[in-house]
């Protein structure tokens, strides 16, 4: 296994090769599901959504809808031949509401018509018989009432009560953390095509083809082997298509089964935002005990997470929040608790970071509060509390923090961002008490890589070498824009020492590689890259003796290089060896399987080693706020991210930039707003503000930590990158706090909720001024 690290002269891995679809993306030629030509007889579908946030459904009258133009079929829960359950982890989470209407926008059924407009019109012409109830919309109210979708999770390490008692000081805080809509460019979509003998092919925009396959089979009342799910690409997923693409795929398949015709179901942006889950907004509360010089001795932290109406992935999301509440800091005694509050709002789900961001922002809020209230330098407080480099300190969940790069990334970023000089300049600027205040902050991120459900940490790949020396590559990972396909192709190209264009990237397909995990937890290239590496290596190892025979040399003398196979100064084309191997009746096809080593987790005690390794990063952000309007901008951001030995630095830089800006959106401008009836009023770009190109910091210096191969044996010693840099945007929020703090007396910690919209910044400025008066 070590061999690829030492001996191979890397030709393809580590190069900034363009995304395989880059040209097609910008030319508008990449085919998304909605771009696929309609098969003859194709019907278009729309979801029927609950008009109330809480109620009991005693009847659905579809007569009026059925009589509208073009309607071919209407399905509700009563039409489900199999099971009305699409829960990703637990059970009892219906595809279509039966009696209980749990949120406004909850799917109740679906309509298929000859055109999309007709389907949407008919979906609005359903007459319901509903006894409405008072909705619970607030997590704190749900918590008071004891309404949860899951039992609480509790991580205990040491004796936190004793630690707090002995602390010099106990600081208390509360933070309101906003949710976030995924706002993928391509809304949720599926195209279901019925075949013979009850077969169903589903083109689904999903991060989890296997789950779609299993749930379609379950809903239709058949076996998984009759369902074929294919995913060429998504127009973004960001976690929103990890579990919830099943709703769309199952509804489309149900209509296809009922009509015997192909059915395409795509959601309008407003329907997508109303009917599908988001990042969990949370309220976090803490009591943190510190010494006079700012060392944390214990922390008691509680999260109230908005699960929405069902559990979905809330359990592991809360687990990740809890396991990232330490962020970079050694907390000797801890009690971290998470409640999955049940509300009459859409069921929240995975979103880039998966609970990690809520944990990290809480951690950083505590650190910032400690520094401000003790009037210490925040970076000094951070460094003081960092996990020591290789001191064997463990996280509160007992995982040792090994190969720790916290000090390295912090020192490098403070230096390259010219911290000292800019800190002095900004303090000087603010001293005069201007309307426009500036703020500066640095923060680190430590993020754990692996699914926190150990069983998900596996992957499969299928590699075929054809007789002309071209290679077909398939694996369980899905492409959502993150560049997974090109990275895995680079791995295979490297093994065979072929040019990247010899490797054919193919759509994810449950019939080729089965029983896959979602492409999530940033593990796509770690898992699928290693599975493909193993498959390709096995084929190469079978071809090598054939080459050795041909050249009459020992196999050790055979070298694959530049599309050829060499023995000393003689060589043949790779294609020639492929043909020879075939003639010698050697298999040129292999299914590789990989399972992440070393990990284990006890969900009850919340102890173990949930993560194969940690990845590290740091950022410095500078902001300006207008203290009269609350308007704010990030003026400059400097980022340093650990990617191990990057498989593809061009793709990784794109991931870092994109994640950071998406994190800025979460923390500053993306605000979800429900009215008192439980209707989400921010269901499109006019009311829900995602960052635009002009919100990208005008000075944006992003780099990848150099010369830092993963100490663990990952594929070519790379590290995951998809999610961790999102959390570096917490630096922007900290810089906003810094600017707000300059409006108040020293020793006061700002109250700045997220998202830090102009309104929230203004509230925080008013609040700190009032407390300073």
Q: How far is the CB of 485 from ligand HPA (least distance, A)?
A: 20
| Residue 480 is a binding residue for ligand MTE (CB under 6 A) | yes
Nearer to ligand MOS (CB atom), residue 426 or residue 449? 449
Sign of CA dihedral 705, 707, 712, 713: positive
| Residue 485 is a binding residue for ligand MOS (CB under 6 A) | no
Q: Which residues contact 358 (CB under 8 A, 6 or more apart)?
A: 177, 280, 282, 284, 303, 305, 321
Binder to ligand HPA among 22, 77, 407, 453 (CB under 6 A)? Answer: 453
Binder to ligand MTE among 194, 209, 277, 722 (CB under 6 A)? Answer: 722
| Residue 521 is a binding residue for ligand MTE (CB under 6 A) | yes
Q: How far is the CB of 136 from ligand MOS (least distance, A)?
A: 26
Binder to ligand MOS among 257, 320, 352, 717 (CB under 6 A)? Answer: 352
What is the pairing mode between strands 564-567 and 570-573?
A: antiparallel
Instruction: Give one word for 583, left, alpha or beta, with left for phi > 0 and alpha for psi -120 to 50.
Output: alpha
Contact 632, 761 (CB under 8 A): yes
Binder to ligand MTE among 236, 277, 448, 469 (CB under 6 A)? Answer: 236
Q: How far is the CB of 613 from ligand MTE (least distance, A)?
A: 14
DSSP state of 180: B
Q: What is the DSSP string of 594-640?
A: EE-SS-EEETTTTEEE--SEEEEEEEEEEEEEETTT--EEEEEEEEE
Alpha carbon distance 322, 397 (integer Å): 9
How many residues touch ligand MTE under the rule CB under 6 A: the total is 20
How many residues touch ligand MOS under the rule CB under 6 A: the total is 10
User: Which partner in ligand MTE, ligand MOS, ligand HPA, none is near 320 (CB below 5 to 8 A by kind)?
Assistant: ligand HPA
| Residue 640 is a binding residue for ligand HPA (CB under 6 A) | no
| Residue 257 is a binding residue for ligand MOS (CB under 6 A) | no
Q: How far is the CB of 349 from ligand MOS (least distance, A)?
A: 8
Q: Give the active site residue among 141, 670, 723, 759.
A: 723
Nearer to ligand MTE (CB atom), residue 109 or residue 610? 610
Q: Which residues contact 483 (CB under 8 A, 6 or more apart)?
A: 19, 648, 651, 654, 655
Which residues inside 650-689 make contact with ligand MTE, applying CB under 6 A? 655, 658
| Residue 644 is a binding residue for ligand MTE (CB under 6 A) | no
> Per-residue contact track with ligand MOS, 196 to 225, x per CB under 6 A?
-----------x------------------
Query: Residue 143's CB: how many other CB atoms inside 10 A?
Result: 17
DSSP strands (E only) in 506-606 = 508-509, 558-561, 564-567, 570-573, 589-595, 600-602
**Taking CB positions, which residue lies at the least distance from ligand MTE?**
524
| Residue 525 is a binding residue for ligand MTE (CB under 6 A) | yes
> Per-residue contact track with ligand HPA, 203 to 242, x per CB under 6 A?
---------------------------------------x
Nearer to ligand HPA (CB atom), residue 319 or residue 537? 319
| Residue 546 is a binding residue for ligand HPA (CB under 6 A) | no
Alpha carbon distance 248, 267 (integer Å): 8
Burial of 127 from C-beta contacts in 10 A (0-12 / 13-18 / 19+): exposed
Q: Which tokens is 386 given?
A: 């960092």
| Residue 452 is a binding residue for ligand HPA (CB under 6 A) | yes
Q: Map tokens 């191990």 to a residue.
A: 644
Alpha carbon distance 346, 682 (integer Å): 13
Binder to ligand HPA among 316, 359, 378, 592 (CB under 6 A)? Answer: 316
Print burial letters for 628-651: b (CB count within 10 Å at least 16), e (below 16): eebebbbbbbbbbbbbbbbbbbbb
Nearer to ligand HPA (CB atom), residue 118 or residue 347? 347
576 included as an active-site residue? no
Q: Which tokens is 693 given?
A: 């190109």
Q: Which tokens is 427 given?
A: 């303090």
Peptide bond preceding 755: is omega within 30 degrees of 0, i.e. cis? yes
Residues that bind ligand HPA (CB under 6 A): 242, 313, 316, 320, 350, 354, 451-453, 456, 520-521
Q: Supply the residues annotated as catalytic.
A: 723
Residues that bind ligand MTE (CB under 6 A): 236-239, 352, 480-482, 484, 519-525, 655, 658, 722-723
């Amino acid at each position: 296994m070590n061999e690829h690290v030492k001996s191979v002269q890397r030709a393809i891995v580590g190069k900034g090769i363009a995304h395989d679809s880059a040209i097609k993306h910008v030319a508008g030629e990449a085919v998304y599901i909605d771009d696929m030509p309609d098969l003859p007889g194709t019907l278009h579908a729309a979801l029927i959504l609950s008009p109330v946030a809480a109620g009991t459904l005693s009847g659905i009258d579809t007569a009026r809808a059925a009589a509208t133009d073009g309607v071919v079929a209407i399905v509700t829960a009563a039409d489900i031949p199999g099971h009305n359950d699409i829960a990703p982890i637990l059970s009892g989470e219906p595809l279509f509401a039966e009696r209980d209407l749990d949120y406004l926008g909850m799917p109740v059924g679906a309509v298929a018509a000859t055109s999309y407009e007709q389907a949407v019109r008919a979906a609005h012409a359903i007459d319901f018989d509903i006894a409405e109830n008072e909705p619970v919309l607030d997590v704190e109210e749900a918590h008071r009432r004891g309404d949860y979708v899951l039992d609480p999770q509790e991580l205990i390490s040491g004796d936190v009560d004793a630690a707090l008692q002995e602390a010099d000081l106990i600081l208390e805080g509360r933070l309101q953390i906003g949710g976030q809509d995924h706002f993928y460019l391509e809304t949720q979509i599926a195209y279901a095509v019925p075949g013979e003998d009850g077969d169903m092919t589903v083109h689904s925009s999903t991060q989890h083809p296997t789950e779609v396959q299993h749930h379609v089979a379950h809903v239709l009342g058949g076996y998984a082997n009759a369902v074929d799910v294919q995913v060429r690409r998504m127009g973004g997923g960001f976690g929103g298509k990890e579990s919830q693409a099943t709703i769309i795929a199952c509804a489309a398949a149900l209509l296809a089964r009922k009509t015997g015709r192909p059915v395409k179901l795509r959601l309008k942006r407003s329907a997508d935002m109303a009917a599908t889950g988001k990042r969990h907004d949370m309220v976090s509360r803490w009591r943190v005990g510190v010494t006079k010089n700012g060392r944390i001795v214990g922390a008691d932290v509680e999260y109230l997470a908005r699960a929405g109406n069902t559990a979905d992935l809330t359990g592991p999301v809360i687990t990740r929040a809890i396991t990232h509440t330490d962020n970079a800091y050694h907390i000797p005694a801890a009690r971290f608790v998470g409640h999955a509050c049940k509300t009459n709002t859409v069921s929240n789900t995975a979103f880039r970071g998966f609970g990690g961001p809520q944990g990290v922002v809480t951690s950083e809020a505590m650190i910032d509060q400690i520094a401000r209230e003790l009037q210490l330098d925040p970076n000094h407080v951070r460094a003081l509390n960092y996990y020591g480099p290789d001191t064997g300190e463990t996280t509160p969940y007992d995982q040792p923090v090994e190969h720790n790069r916290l000090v390295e990334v912090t020192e490098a970023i403070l230096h390259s961002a010219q911290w000292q000089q800019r800190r002095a300049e900004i303090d000087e600027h603010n001293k005069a008490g201007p309307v426009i205040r500036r703020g500066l902050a640095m923060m680190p991120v430590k993020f754990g890589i692996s699914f926190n459900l150990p069983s998900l940490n596996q992957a499969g790949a299928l590699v075929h070498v054809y007789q002309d020396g071209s290679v077909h590559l398939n694996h369980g990972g899905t492409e959502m824009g993150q560049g997974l396909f090109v990275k895995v192709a680079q791995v295979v190209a490297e093994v065979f020492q072929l040019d990247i264009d010899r490797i054919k990237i193919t759509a994810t397909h449950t019939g080729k590689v089965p029983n896959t995990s979602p492409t999530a937890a940033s593990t796509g290239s770690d898992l699928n890259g290693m599975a493909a590496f193993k498959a390709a290596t096995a084929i190469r190892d079978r071809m090598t003796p054939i080459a050795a025979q041909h050249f009459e040399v020992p196999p050790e003398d055979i070298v694959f290089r530049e599309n050829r196979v060499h023995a000393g100064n003689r060589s043949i084309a790779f294609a020639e060896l492929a043909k020879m191997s075939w003639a010698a009746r050697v298999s040129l096809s292999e299914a590789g399987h990989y399972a992440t080593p070393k990990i284990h987790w006890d969900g009850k005690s919340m102890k173990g080693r949930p993560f194969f390794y940690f990845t590290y990063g740091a950022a410095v952000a500078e902001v300006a706020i207008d203290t009269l309007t609350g308007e704010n901008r990030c003026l400059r951001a400097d980022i340093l991210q650990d990617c191990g030995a990057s498989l593809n630095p061009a793709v990784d830089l794109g991931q870092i930039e994109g994640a950071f800006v998406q994190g800025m959106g979460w923390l500053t401008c993306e605000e979800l707003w429900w009215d008192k009836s439980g209707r989400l009023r921010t269901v499109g770009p006019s009311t829900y503000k995602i960052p635009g190109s002009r919100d990208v910091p005008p000075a944006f210096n992003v780099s990848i930590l150099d010369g830092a191969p993963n100490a663990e044996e990952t594929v070519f010693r790379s590290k995951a990158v998809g999610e961790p840099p999102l959390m570096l945007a917490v630096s922007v929020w900290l810089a906003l706090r810094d600017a707000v703090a300059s409006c108040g007396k020293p020793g006061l910690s700002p109250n700045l909720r997220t998202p830090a919209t102009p309104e929230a910044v203004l509230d925080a400025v008013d609040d700190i001024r009032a407390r300073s008066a």
